[in-house]
Amino acid sequence: MKITSKKVIGTPPYGELIAADVVGFDSPYYYFEQSKEIVGVVVVSKGRVLLNKQFRIPVQKDVFDLPAGLVEKGESLEEAAKRELEEETGFVADRLIKLGSFMYHPARSTARCHLFFCDSIQKGKRNLDKTEQIKAVWFDFPSCINKFLEEGGHDFTMISGLVMVERYLQEEKRK
């Protein structure tokens, strides 16, 4: 499935919307070329996990997801993760452990997401963007994983992050 040509059809602040001609396709294939990396943080403290509840326009409902966002120019992945955590939740990470990276919806985007784990936080200062309406919510961990899987309709990155942290903590116990 080779791309023979690409046309930029939109330019949001963090990438380009692309219409690509692909060998064997009768119509263009649309995807997003993301110019910024994504970071997310899974905070687990005292048997609970900190998640964001926010309204998502495409699905027109509240969704639980991780504190997350885009890496700004000149920031390291860790700096961006710490900034996003404080901006969205009002908590500052004492330390971050990188869990891994993965493609973020590779059928429709070139973005990569980098997940971090944090088990020690302090109170900081929340600073939401004017377009963000976020409520920080604590859930019992890891029991909330089954709850979210059974309910469906939640952010895949959040579910992946919770499972990755559960696995990480199990491996740490074995050491």
- pLDDT per position as a tens digit, 27-48: 999 999 998 999 999 999 999 9
Domains of the chain and CATH, by start: 3-33 (no CATH), 36-174 (3.90.79.10)
Per-residue pLDDT, averaged over 88-93, amounts to 96
167 pLDDT exceeds 90? yes
Confidence of residue 66 (pLDDT cuts 50, 70, 90): very high
Q: What is the pLDDT of residue 129?
A: 85
Buried residues in 45-69 as b, exposed as e (16+ CB within 10 A): eeeebbbbebeeeeeeeebbbbbbb
Task: Find where tokens 């499935």 sit.
Answer: 1
Angle 64-68-74 (CA atoms, 0-180°, nearest 5)? 170
Q: What is the pLDDT of residue 131?
A: 86
Q: Of 52, 67, 75, whose CA–CA distance to 118 is shortest?
A: 67
% residues pLDDT > 90 (the chain)? 81
- Lowest-pLDDT choice from 44-58, 79-93, 150-164: 150-164
Q: What is the pLDDT of residue 161?
A: 93
Cα separations in angstroms, 20 against 12, 17, 28: 17, 10, 5
